Amino acid sequence: MSRTTDGLANAIGYAFDDPGLLDAAVTHRSAGSHNNERLEFLGDAVLGHVVAEWLYSAFPDAPEGQLSRLRAILVKRETLADIARKLDVGEYLRLGSGELKSGGFRRDSILADALEAVLGGILLDGGFDACRDCIHRLFAGRLDGLSAADELKDPKTRLQEYLQSRKLALPVYAMHTVSGKAHRQQFVVECRIDALSTATTGNGSSRRKAEQAAADNMLEQLGVSR
């Protein structure tokens, strides 16, 4: 780790009474037995609870299915990793030599797990209210940007509806490349709209995720509001 965790505590906006909890939260299992896996377990649970409670109040008319999909948007790996990057969590990670060499400090899964572990550490250090306040601060912008009507639709569905509303043919998705070992493959998919002579690519840990990413990039390229 190249930087003191004091900087991370400042970025999060929470002062730990027990700094050891934050040190543990940024320690990946590759770095030793005293790592963040147990804290991640706690953080995942409290994050799901707080987000569910928040959505229940923010969308009083939304049925259970919609609330579940909204929660999935907020707590998915990509969202957590993006928040972690904004906090520079990768700069504070303690990784084993193998993960350091492979760029683990940039990997979505490691960043997302570390953020959940940090939340677990705050829960233990300051209690539920302190943890809830921190989650509200970190996720406020994400919640404000959600729409119960539009954001529930995945990018492929939104792109399809956009094209249909303009009487254009549906996009064509084609596999571009597959790389990596069997247990950690990365897929790159092309999304092509022949009628508009345009194409985008997206990558993900599965073909479905790569297609969704490609569709999301296409929506951005077309200037469709997210």
For the chain, how far is it from start to end, CA to CA, in angstroms?
36
| CB 190, CB 174: distance < 8 Å | yes
Question: Which one of the listed residues 23, 40, 44, 113 is annotated catalytic?
Answer: 44
Q: Is 44 a catalytic residue?
A: yes
Cα separation, 119 vs 76, in Å, equals: 15
* pLDDT-derived band at 2, boundaries 50, 70, 90: very low
Q: How many domains does the chain have?
A: 2
Mean pLDDT in residue range 70-77: 89
Residue 192 belongs to a domain: yes
Q: Which two three-digit tokens encode residue 20?
A: 């050891």
User: Domain with 14 in it: what CATH number?
Assistant: 1.10.1520.10
Containing domain of residue 197, as a range?
Answer: 155-221
Q: What span, in angstroms and rounded, lies between the C-alpha atoms of 185 and 205?
A: 6
Looking at the structure, do residues 114 and 160 belong to the same domain, yes or no? no
Regarding whether 63 and 165 lie in a shared domain, the answer is no
Strand partners, 178: 187
Lowest mean pLDDT among 98-112, 129-143, 177-191: 98-112
Identified catalytic residue from 23, 108, 113, 116: 116
Global confidence as pTM: 0.66
147 confidence band (pLDDT: 50, 70, 90): low
- Are 18 and 114 within one domain? yes
14 and 36: one domain?
yes
Mean pLDDT confidence for 4-27: 93
- Residue that is last in its domain, among 75, 110, 144: 144
| Beta strand ranges found along 129-214 (DSSP E) | 172-179, 186-193, 198-204
Looking at residue 149, what is its pLDDT?
A: 56
Domain presence at residue 54? yes
pLDDT at 186: 92
Q: Any residues with CB less than 8 A from the CB of 5 and at least 6 apart, and which?
A: 19, 22, 23, 26, 92
Is residue 149 included in any domain, yes or no? no
Boundary-marking domain end, from 115, 144, 173: 144
Query: Of the residues 76, 109, 144, which one is the last residue of a structural domain?
Result: 144
Our CA angle for 97, 102, 107, nearest 5°, is 110
Candidates 171, 164, 161; CA nearest to 198 is 171
Same domain, 41 and 90: yes
Give the pLDDT band (50/70/90) at residue 42.
Answer: very high
What CATH number corresponds to the domain at position 182? 3.30.160.20
Name the strands in the sheet holding 186-193, side by side, starting at the edge strand that comes first in the sequence.
172-179, 186-193, 198-204
Domain membership flag for residue 38 = yes
User: Does residue 99 have an active-site annotation?
Assistant: no
